[in-house]
Structures are given as structure tokens and as C-alpha cells.
Amino acid sequence: MATEVRTAPITITEKALAEVKNIMTEKNVPADYGLRIGVQGGGCSGMSYLLGFDKPKEADETFDLNGVTLIMDKKHGMYVMGMEVDFQDGLNARGFTFNNPQAKSTCGCGSSFSA
């Protein structure tokens, strides 16, 4: 039986992945948890991004990104396909950023978009 290797629909930069691993270690995130990425209704532009640690559920797809399990609800794929998650650690901004080619418009905060 062959194992299907699927490519994640998003990319996470090395800097963001390092920060995720750092947070997982600092906050003692359980080993069976992964990084959930998705969307939810709300925000200034109609939809906002989800980013947090969670256990996979039945409707989820999982992907391995350099040792971090990426968890995503199958229904969210069309909203985040091709998105890049990065991490900024500068004087003016610190946090995760989302570069989403599916977004028709975004708001000033960068965490809300319309599709």
C-alpha cells in the first residue's frame, strides 16, 4: 500500500516555521496537536484568517511541513490556495502575515480579506 504524499495548498516561510516551532516548545503544545490554518467569517473585509494549535478533526486534511503538522478544513482550501504565511519581527510590526493571491481585497490590519 503506497502512502499518498500531498503538497500543502499554502507555503510557510522558514522564518514563520521557526517561530511556530519556537511557540510549540515554549507553550508546551502537545505532540498530537498541529498548526491549524483556515478562515472564518468576520473582520473588516468579510473574512479573517485562523491560525492556532489544534487536533485534527474528521473533516480536516493534514500535511507535513518540515516536522510541523499543518491542519486545514477541506472547505477552506479554496480561500487559501497559494497563500504564503510569513513572520515579521521588526520595530514597527511583529507577528504572522498572510499573502493570499485569492483575496480580492484586504484591510489595513492584514488579517481580514474578501474573496
pLDDT at 2: 44
Indicate the average pLDDT of the chain. Answer: 84
Q: Which of 95, 104, 59 is nearest to 77 (CA)?
A: 59
Q: Which of 50, 37, 44, 45 is nearest to 104 (CA)?
A: 45
pLDDT at 105: 67
Q: In sequence order, what are the beta bridge partners of 45?
A: none
pLDDT at 91: 82
pLDDT at 77: 87
- Environment class of residue 10 by beta-carbon count within 10 Å: exposed (0-12), middle (13-18) or buried (19+)? buried
pLDDT digits (tens, 9 = 90+) for 52-75: 999 999 989 999 988 899 999 999
% of the chain residues with pLDDT over 70: 83
Average pLDDT, stretch 34-41?
Answer: 90
pLDDT at 41: 79
pTM of the model: 0.81
Q: Which of 82, 85, 81, 67 is nearest to 12 (CA)?
A: 85
Contacts of 3 (CB under 8 A, 6+ apart): none
